[in-house]
Structure 1
């Protein structure tokens, strides 16, 4: 429920208290073809890492386009030292996906076609209530936006034309032509906002979002059962990040889990 003076969101907000309730919600017919993103704090607006960085460190909005262009240019000029086969120099979207892969702040927002992968990212490191955002790619484009094929940032020049200058209040969603191992493992896709100073829910806020966006709040008690069930499904850092870094990160949850007993209570499981 919205607080007094707060505008009630036009997208549905669900608060689930159990893992079973989450499963019932995301396996129903409504969200079959949607994409999902997990965040470990449901209070966070749906911003890109680039938006958060620019806002948090006080970069003047008038400099945002030039600074984004600058880090893209720097990465292109220097990354070749570490790449066997760099993307084409004018394939900006492929370069952005590569930057995202290695942790650079970009305007790309990670989503997954799997609600279970999103739930993992919502629950794995949270101490609060996590959230799974759901978005319907088929409905995110408005009649006031350029046509989807025309604005496709994978096409030469389109990223700079439609996105970099921040003139279009739009969201585009899809994958790069060439997908890396992490994107494949996570059933990943990207949402690309046309502006950086608004979160996704506000970019889409000029119309009824009932069939466009949904927010599923996972109350903290969901974590214990949810993480155990995701582990049993083999959804872990080691499988979602199939490299040495992912393996190392996966050991955190191993501290909480044992096949023979509950490490929190030291009680053996029933046989």
Structure 2
């Protein structure tokens, strides 16, 4: 059974992370925020509406991106192409994580900062022991760079008819973009359609921090007071403008 901890504010979040840090080095812990605690840890490419479309997305994106993006990766750099697709919201087999629990908390709660009409619901911050996952899946505790040869078998089925290895690997993102740097981004790469939290050994590397329904709005305000805002988490002019418009310039 998965370990579950309730956190209703920033102080309780820090206390929970401190408790987990007593068991594993902090550098091994990654975080992901979900607005709904019911959401599974499954990449968008493997969700119902996008299944069997992954290779179609990949090849069309690579063919058409060059005229729109001057810094497109080399055509054969599959890792960077999937990273770029993920960055722009196209379904991939990558699942975003952060090395910062506060960034994950922001993603779990940001909707309440910009939509006063949103009905509150229980949220979650997932905590992943990345090295433990990789040791169980691949008998190797390192978290490799996404461009490393070790990761290629997990990426290749998105591009060709390479069989899936039915494993999941935690990998470091290449910081070719300021957003990845600010968000302290990293990925799990999925070569299996089963959600990470539903895999048979998930209790060995996952912890679920649950934010109660009656705490999400106050918790979101604490996150904002701590300096986590849309224009900084997404460091581009469009998101800065969105933040200023929503907050009346504050």
TM interval, shorter chain, is: 0.7 to 0.9
Which one of the candidate residues 185, 204, 209 is aligned to 2:203? 209
Deviation of 1:117 (Å):
0.5
Distance 1:146 1:112 in 2: 23
Cα 1:161–1:128 shift into 2, 3 Å: closer
Deviation of 1:133 (Å):
0.4
Q: Which runs of 5+ in 2 are unaligned?
A: 113-119
Which one of the candidate residues 195, 198, 201 is aligned to 2:194? 198
Which one of the candidate residues 190, 201, 223 is aligned to 1:230? 223
The question of 1:180 aligning with 2:180 is answered no
Distance 2:30 2:86 in 1: 18
Cα 1:180–1:153 shift into 2, 3 Å: closer
Q: Which has the higher helix share?
A: 2
CA contact (8 A) 1:109 1:190 kept: yes
Deviation of 1:198 (Å):
1.1
Deviation of 1:146 (Å):
7.1
The answer for the alignment partner of 2:107 in structure 1 is 121
1:151-193 Cα distance to aligned partner (Å, 9 max, x none): 9752465321699756323221223334311111111111111
The question of 1:221 aligning with 2:201 is answered no
Distance 2:136 2:186 in 1: 23
The answer for the alignment partner of 1:4 in structure 2 is none
Distance 1:209 1:166 in 2: 27
Q: Which runs of 5+ in 1 are unaligned?
A: 1-9, 259-271
CA contact (8 A) 2:126 2:207 kept: yes
Cα 1:163–1:242 shift into 2, 3 Å: same
Deviation of 1:21 (Å):
1.7
Distance 2:79 2:55 in 1: 12
Question: What value does the CA root-mean-square deviation take over the aligned residues?
Answer: 2.9
State the TM-score, normalizing by the size of structure 2: 0.81
| Structure 1 counterpart SS, 2:223 | helix
| Structure 2 counterpart SS, 1:179 | coil
The answer for the alignment partner of 1:268 in structure 2 is none
Instruction: Trace 1:10-21 onto structure 2 (pairs within 5 A).
Output: 10-21=1-12
| Structure 1 counterpart SS, 2:232 | helix
The question of 1:40 aligning with 2:31 is answered no
The question of 1:136 aligning with 2:136 is answered no
State the TM-score, normalizing by the size of structure 1: 0.76
1:36-78 Cα distance to aligned partner (Å, 9 max, x none): 00010001111112122xx136x5xxxx2xx322211111111
Larger radius of gyration: 1
Q: How many residues of Structure 1 are paired with residues of Structure 2 in the alignment? A: 235
The answer for the alignment partner of 1:49 in structure 2 is 44
The question of 1:105 aligning with 2:91 is answered yes
